[in-house]
Amino acid sequence: MTKAKRNRLIYNMITYGLVIAAFIILQSMVDAKTITRSLKGQLVPICAWVVMAVSLNLVIGFSGELSLGHAGFMSVGAYTGTIVSGWMLNVFDVQDTTLRLVVAILAGGLMAGLAGTLIGIPVLRLRGDYLAIVTLAFGEIIRNLVNVLYVGIADGRLQASFLKKTLPSQAIMLVDGAKGAVKIKPISNFTMGFILVMITLIVVINLINSRTGRAIQATRDNRIAAESMGVSVIRYKMTAFVTASVLAGMAGALYGLNATTVVPTQFTFNQSINVLVFVVLGGLGNILGSVISAAFLTVLPELLREFSDLRMLLYAIVLILVMIFTNNPLIRDFIGRLFQSLRRRFSHGSQDETTGGETK
C-alpha cells in the first residue's frame, strides 16, 4: 500500500467515523431528551443539506463544473417524494411509514436523475460561465413549472394537471400550484437521514476513488489532455452530474417529507447559492469539509438567533472575510509562515512532516 493510498484511506475512515459518531451522540441526546427543541427540529434538514453539499461537491469540486441549479433537483425530489408518499397512503393504504419513506426517497432520486440526464445532455457541452448560467436557468424553469402543477387523488386514482386546476373539487390535493405540496404527513426521521448521508458518502467516496472518478478529475484538471488520452469528457461529466442530481433528489424527498408543506419558493436560486456556499467554505473537492460546513452553517442561523436582525448581516460579512482571508495570496502567505514558524518551534526543526501547503 502506497503512502498516498494509506493517507486517503485514513482520511475516508475519519470522514465515516465522524459522521457515525455525530449520529450516535445526537441520537442518544434525542433518546435522553437533553437536546434542545430547535436543534431536534434541525436534525433531518442537516442530513438533507449535508447530502446536497456532498453531491454538489462532486459536480463542482471533482468534475469542475459550476452548477447553480442544484436546488432545482432538490425540488424535483421533494415534490416526487411527497406525491409518491401521499399516493401510497391514499390509494394503496400503505400505513408503514418506513416503507413509504424509502419508496418516496427512491422515487425522488429517480425523477431527479431523469431531470439531471435531460438537463445534462445539452448543458455539459457548454463551458465555464455559460454552463453556470444554463444550470441557473434550468433551476428557475423547474421552479416555475412546479408553481403551476396540480396533483391530486380523485376516484381512487392519481390525477395531475398543468397550468389550470382541472381536478374535481372533492379530490384530495397533494400539490396545489403556488401553494406547493400541501397536507404532507411528515414521516422523515433522523435515522433515515443518517442512512442517506452514509449512502451518499459511500457512493461519492467510492466513485471518486475509482477509475471513473479519476477520469472525472482528469477532465477537470485538463480537458484537452484528458480528451487526447481517450477519456470521453462529456460521458464522465454526465456521470458526475447525474449522480449528483440523483443524490439531490433523494435529499429533496427526505427534506420534503419532514414538513407539512413544501412551497416552490423554498427552492429558489438563493437556495442553490446556499449549497454552493457550503461547498466552497468546506473546500472544493473536500468531502469532509462539505459535511462539516453544511451541518455547521445549517445550525448557525439558529445559534445566532439572539442577534436576530443581525444574523444574516453577520453571515454575509463572515462569508466575505473568509473568502478574502483564504484566497488573498499575501494573507495566505502570512498565515502559512505563521504556522510554519509555530510548527518549527514545537517540533524543534524536524522538517519531514511538512508536506502540506501546495496549491492547485
Partner 1 sequence: MIFLDNLINGLSLGSIYAIIALGYTMVYGIAKMLNFAHGDVIMVGGYMAFCGLQYWGVPTVLSLVIAMAVCTVLGVTIEGLAYRPLRQAPGLAVLITAIGMSYLLQNLALMIWGANPKSFPTTFINGSSIRLGSLNISSATVYTILANVIIMVLLTLFTSRTRMGKAMRCVSQDRGAAQLMGINVNRTITVTFAIGSALAAIAGVLLCSSYPILQPTTGSMPGIKAFTAAVFGGIGSIPGAMLGGVLLGVIEIFGKAYISTELGDAIVFAVLIVVLLVRPTGLLGKAVREKV
Binding site for partner 1 (CB under 8 A): 60, 66, 122-123, 125-127, 129-130, 132-134, 136-138, 140-141, 144-145, 147-148, 163, 178, 224, 269, 273, 276-277, 280, 284, 309, 312-313, 315-317, 319-320, 323-324, 326-331, 360
Q: In whole angstroms, what is the distance from residue 100 CA to residue 334 CA?
A: 54
Least separation, in Å, of the C-beta of 165 and partner 1? 12
> CB-wise, 32 or 330, nearer to partner 1?
330
Residue 5: what residue type?
Answer: K
Question: Given the DSSP bridges, would you call strands 172-176 and 149-154 parallel, antiparallel or unpaired?
Answer: antiparallel
Whichever of 6 and 337 has its CB closer to partner 1, that residue is 337
- Interatomic CA distance for residues 294 and 292, integer angstroms: 6
Q: With 0-12 CB in 10 A as exposed, 13-18 as middle and 19+ as buried, what is 194?
A: buried
Residues whose CB is less than 8 angstroms from the CB of residue 120 and which lie 6 or more positions away in sequence, other chains included: 237, 238, 241, 242, 245
- Which is closer to partner 1, CB of 12 or CB of 67? 67
Minimum distance from residue 116 beta carbon to partner 1 (Å): 15
Nearest CB to partner 1, comparing residues 137 and 199: 137
Gap between the Cα atoms of 45 and 299, Å rounded: 10
**Helix, strand or coil, per DSSP, at residue 45:** helix
Closest contact distance (angstroms) between CB of 355 and partner 1 is 22
Q: Are 231 and 215 in contact (CB under 8 A)?
A: yes
Taking the least distance from each CB to partner 1, the nearer of 196 and 280 is: 280
Cβ within 8 Å of residue 56, ≥6 positions away: 67, 70, 244, 248, 275, 276, 278, 279, 290
Shortest Å, Cβ 269 to partner 1: 6
Cβ 118 to partner 1 shortest distance, Å: 11
**Between 50 and 136, CB nearer to partner 1:** 136
Note whether 149 and 160 are within 8 A (CB): yes
Q: Which residue has the cell 441520537?
A: 27
91 neighbors 83 (Cβ within 8 angstroms) = no
Report the first-to-last Cα separation within the chain, whole angstroms: 25
State which residue, 250 or 281, has the beta carbon closest to partner 1. 281
The distance of closest approach from Cβ of residue 177 to partner 1 in the complex, given in angstroms and rounded to an integer, is 8
Choose between 12 and 298: whose C-beta lies nearer to partner 1: 298
Within its chain, how far is the Cα of 108 from the centroid?
14
Shortest separation between residue 147's beta carbon and partner 1, angstroms: 6
